[in-house]
Amino acid sequence: MRYEVVLPAAGSGKRMGAGQNKLFLNLADKPILVHTLLVFEQDANCTGIWLAVKDEERLFIQSLIENYNITKVKGLPTGGEERQHSVHSCIKEMKAVEVVLVHDAARPFITIPKITELAKVAYEKGAAIAGVRAKDTMKIVQNGLIKETIDRESLWMVQTPQAFRYDLLAEAEDVAEKVGFLGTDEAMLVERLGHDIHIVECSYENVKMTTQEDLIFGEAILEKHNFRKSLEK
Ligand SMILES: Nc1ccn([C@@H]2O[C@H](COP(=O)(O)OP(=O)(O)OP(=O)(O)O)[C@@H](O)[C@H]2O)c(=O)n1
Ligand SMILES: C[C@](O)(CO)[C@H](O)COP(=O)(O)O
């Protein structure tokens, strides 16, 4: 199932504490952003990449695109104050495609088979998002006190890609903007429309590079996969 992908890349990386956009930090031999771009560049089903960027970072990102021969980038719209606004700036510029994926540029370890599965379910059912089952017990805390424990059996840690029929996501983004609703993922905007959203179980390796510890995990993941590749030679 062919699709276009929106990669929000206009964040500030505050929790990473690197004093710069964390997507420019290297994991092994190349920036996090490039690792993520290469996955979609190599996926034959991906027909276009849209990157929400900060105006002051556009030239640098264009140099990365050139240096790493990324040929599928269709646009670099200016990102917004929040991640949702950055995604919406891309959705507004895209011509209607059948399926659109939104994927955090900070998640470099997504795999093509999982992308394919998400795009297929989105085409057939309208909406599908990546996730993994919660490993820890989750509790609601108020004023330092445990208020409630949430049944772990029904708890998932949601990731990206989040895949949708384009018209559904475009409507959800427009409605959210109109009513001033701010969600932390695109699924929240589509849930508000009452549309079913399917979960596709992905990997714990599909981690979002958010804090310094995630970089250590990321290096270890690369090491493991390089080691595997060396065994195949
Ligand atoms: N206004 C924003 C905020 C985030 N993002 C992007 O959305 C993805 C996920 O966001 P997050 O991990 O929160 O990145 P940052 O906002 O940069 O991190 P922090 O919240 O620690 O500042 C990242 O690829 C980030 O670049 C974006 O395009 N526009
Ligand atoms: C979209 C997301 O990756 C799903 O877990 C997450 O909500 C992004 O949160 P962030 O704070 O914008 O990184």
The type of residue at 211 is: T
> How far does residue 13's CA lie from ligand 1's centre (Å)?
6
Ligand with an atom nearest the CA of residue 77: 1
Q: Give the domain ranges of the chain.
A: 3-131+159-194+202-232
What ligand is nearest to the CA atom of residue 16?
1
82 C-beta closer than 6 A to ligand 2: no
- The per-residue pLDDT for range 140-186, each reduced to its tens digit, is 999 999 999 999 999 999 999 999 999 999 999 999 999 999 999 99
The residue whose CA is least distant from atom 14 of ligand 1 is 11
Judged against a pLDDT cut of 90, whether residue 96 lies above it is answered with: no
Topology given in CATH for the domain delimited by 3-131+159-194+202-232:
Spore Coat Polysaccharide Biosynthesis Protein SpsA; Chain A (3.90.550)
* Mean confidence (pLDDT) of the chain: 96
| Better pLDDT: 204 or 232 | 204
pTM for the whole structure: 0.96
**188 within ligand 2 shell (Cβ under 6 A):** no
Q: Please give, one letter per residue, the 3-state secondary structure of the chain.
A: CCEEEEEECCCCCHHHCCCCCHHHCEECCEEHHHHHHHHHHHCCCEEEEEEEECHHHHHHHHHHHHHCCCCCEEECCECCCCHHHHHHHHHHHCCCCCEEEECCCCCCCCCHHHHHHHHHHHHHHCEEEEEEECCCCEEEEECCEEEEEECHHHCEEEEEEEEEEHHHHHHHHHHHHHHCCCCCCHHHHHHCCCCCCEEEECCCCCCCCCCHHHHHHHHHHHHHHHHHHHHHC
In ligand 1, the atom with minimum distance to the C-alpha of 81 is 1
Among 35, 83, 90, 173, which residue has the most ligand 1 atoms within 8 Å of its CB, making it the best to mutate? 83
Closest residue by Cα to atom 11, ligand 2, is: 184
Is 86 close to ligand 2, i.e. is its CB under 6 Å away? no
Angle in degrees, 0-180, between the axes of helices 32-42 and 58-67, rounded to the nearest 10: 50
Q: pLDDT for 97-128, tens place per residue?
A: 999 999 999 999 999 999 999 999 999 999 99
